[in-house]
């Protein structure tokens, strides 16, 4: 009886060369990444290092560091904000956990993943291990963002995530592998083997959104570690599947009901993932950022007081209606994902301040009471039509007396549609890093094309003047 599903000897449509084609393009970028892409990488690194410094003080990040030191201590690689060093894979793990610790890390909206928290830790660890140039490190960041973004797009990210897979950890391993392979100088064949190994390491589910726990906090960490390992194995001659991204049982086909393997290679060299990044102004899931911005603008413009509010209606995407409509007072994670909590917080607190999501703050009865006035998110076809390339939401605040204030945000602040300036990114860095990292770090990052990466890692270890404030 013939199987309804093709066996390993039966070629699927478009399978066979897409992984190799992507690897060929990316491996050809050694020493030839355009200055504008390198400049974008500088902003991504500055932002990621700032949120890494803040995230390092969260309890789940400290647990990740303990694990890294228990299994990989004594290596050459920096754990940001600490004197300790670890192996490349375990430094990538610890720093990835810190970067993804508090919903502050950057996002590729359409791929629905967080490349900075995966790619930067992996690239930094391998660059330090091999004493690479700053230029090679920044090029690796560009390459890693490209691989992670395209892997995320190719797996049909909406159906992928709604099926229960967490895109950051699933597609992230390919970004880390590409970044690490770039610094190692792997050719197209070597990078393709790294992709093949990485395909067997992709993991991570969305169950944290249903029943909590800390596992989500190490998803970027695990991807950074896995990609670092995949590149190291490939460099040592270990062979991976030859079409790990797009083959019959490749990543982009088996973890989704909407495979788009053609996006792995479509417009290579024309469309660059690193220019499609959202830098987060709020420590919350980016899907609710348009709701936060719309609410905050209405409150500021009209001087809305809590006592005036009868109810708040919110229109967003189907994804937000299904995965972000929850009680945000149950945990820090719930608060950061909850549309209702974040709308209430935009009235009563400041979502731009991570302290808004402290355990004591989310238990504030006033926030709980206002959250109860926020209606269930209603899916809107206009926002679904552009999700997640362009996020959108409409908030309607009904006041006593029947007046309704309405604001639509379609392309929120921080996204490629309304990006933060270099100065705003550096301001966020200073806020997040506080006294824990040397304030000269942004300047050093921007000068990395002309200096070794060691100039940066020394500051990340020894430039501490204090400790960042805690929020968890």
Residue at 415 is within a domain: no
- Here the tokens at position 323 are 């995965």
CATH number at residue 252: 1.10.4100.10
d(CA 169, CA 202): 7
What number of other Cβ atoms are within 10 A of residue 303's Cβ?
8
Least confident of 12-26, 68-82, 275-289: 12-26
Same domain, 297 and 271: no
Domain that holds residue 359: 286-410
Residue at 272 is within a domain: yes
Q: Of 228, 245, 278, which residue sits at a domain end?
A: 278
Residue at 436 is within a domain: no
Start-to-end CA span in the chain (Å): 57
HSE toward the beta carbon, residue 362, CA cutoff 13 A = 24
| Cα angle 43-19-168, degrees, rounded to a multiple of 5 | 45
Same domain, 174 and 267: yes
pLDDT at 210: 82
Cα 127–chain centre separation: 21
Tally of domains within the chain: 2
The residue ranking higher by pLDDT, 47 or 2, is: 47
| Three-state SS at 427 | helix
Same domain, 231 and 332: no
Same domain, 223 and 314: no
At residue 452, what are phi and psi to the nearest 5 degrees? -75, 155
Residues whose CB falls within 8 Å of the CB of residue 88, separated by 6 or more in sequence, listed in order: 75, 76, 77, 125, 126, 128, 129, 180, 228, 232
Residue at 454 is within a domain: no
pLDDT at 274: 98
Same domain, 149 and 263: yes
d(CA 277, CA 415): 6
Same domain, 144 and 166: yes
| Three-state SS at 312 | strand
| Three-state SS at 37 | helix
Q: Of 256, 278, 300, which residue sits at a domain end?
A: 278
**pTM, full prediction:** 0.92
d(CA 356, CA 298): 19
Same domain, 270 and 344: no
Same domain, 108 and 255: yes
pLDDT 10s digits, 371-392? 999 998 999 999 999 998 999 9
Burial zone of 289 (CB within 10 Å; 0-12 exposed, 13-18 middle, 19+ buried): buried
pLDDT 10s digits, 423-466? 999 999 999 998 899 999 999 999 999 999 999 999 998 654 44
Same domain, 128 and 207: yes
Same domain, 268 and 338: no
Q: Of 230, 254, 278, which residue sits at a domain end?
A: 278
């Amino acid at each position: 009886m013939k199987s309804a599903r093709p066996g390993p000897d039966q070629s699927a449509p478009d399978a066979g060369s897409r992984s190799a084609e992507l690897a060929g393009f990316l491996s050809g970028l050694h020493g030839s990444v355009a200055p504008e892409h390198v400049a974008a990488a500088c902003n991504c690194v500055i932002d990621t290092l700032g949120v890494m410094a803040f995230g390092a003080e969260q309890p789940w990040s400290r647990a990740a560091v303990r694990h890294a030191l228990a299994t990989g201590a004594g290596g050459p690689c920096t754990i940001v904000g600490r004197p300790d060093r670890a192996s490349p894979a375990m430094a990538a793990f610890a720093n990835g956990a810190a970067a993804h610790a508090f919903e502050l890390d950057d996002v590729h909206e359409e791929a629905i993943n967080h490349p900075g928290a995966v790619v930067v830790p992996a690239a930094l660890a391998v660059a330090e291990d091999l004493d690479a140039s700053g230029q090679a490190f920044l090029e690796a960041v560009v390459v890693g963002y490209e691989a992670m973004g395209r892997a995320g797009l190719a797996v049909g990210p909406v159906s992928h995530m709604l099926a229960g897979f967490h895109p950051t950890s699933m597609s992230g391993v390919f970004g880390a592998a590409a970044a690490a392979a770039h610094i190692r100088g792997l050719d197209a064949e070597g990078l393709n083997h790294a992709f093949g190994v990485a395909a067997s390491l992709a993991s991570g589910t969305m169950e944290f959104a249903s029943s909590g726990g800390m596992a989500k906090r190490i998803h970027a960490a695990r991807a950074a570690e896995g990609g670092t390992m995949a590149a190291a194995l490939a460099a040592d001659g270990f062979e991976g599947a030859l079409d790990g991204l797009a083959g019959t049982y490749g990543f982009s086909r088996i973890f989704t009901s909407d495979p788009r393997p053609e996006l792995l290679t479509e417009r290579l060299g024309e469309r660059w993932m690193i220019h499609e990044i959202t830098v987060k102004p709020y420590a919350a899931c980016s899907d609710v950022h348009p709701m936060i911005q719309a609410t905050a603008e209405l409150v500021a413009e009209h001087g809305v007081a809590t006592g005036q509010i009868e109810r708040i209606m919110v229109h967003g995407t189907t994804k937000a209606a299904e995965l972000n409509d929850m009680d945000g007072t149950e945990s820090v994670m719930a608060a950061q994902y909850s549309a209702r909590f974040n709308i209430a917080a935009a009235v009563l607190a400041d979502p731009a301040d991570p302290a808004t999501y402290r355990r004591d703050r989310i238990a504030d009865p006033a926030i709980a009471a206002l959250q109860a006035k926020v209606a269930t998110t209603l899916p809107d076809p206009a926002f679904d039509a552009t999700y997640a390339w362009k996020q959108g939401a409409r908030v309607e605040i009904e006041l006593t007396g029947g007046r309704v204030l309405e604001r639509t945000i379609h392309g929120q602040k921080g996204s490629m549609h309304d990006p933060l300036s270099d100065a705003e990114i550096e301001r966020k860095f200073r806020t997040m890093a506080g006294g824990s990292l040397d304030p000269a770090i942004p300047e050093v990052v921007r000068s990395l094309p002309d200096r070794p990466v060691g100039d940066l890692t020394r500051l990340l270890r020894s430039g501490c003047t204090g400790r960042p404030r805690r929020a968890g």
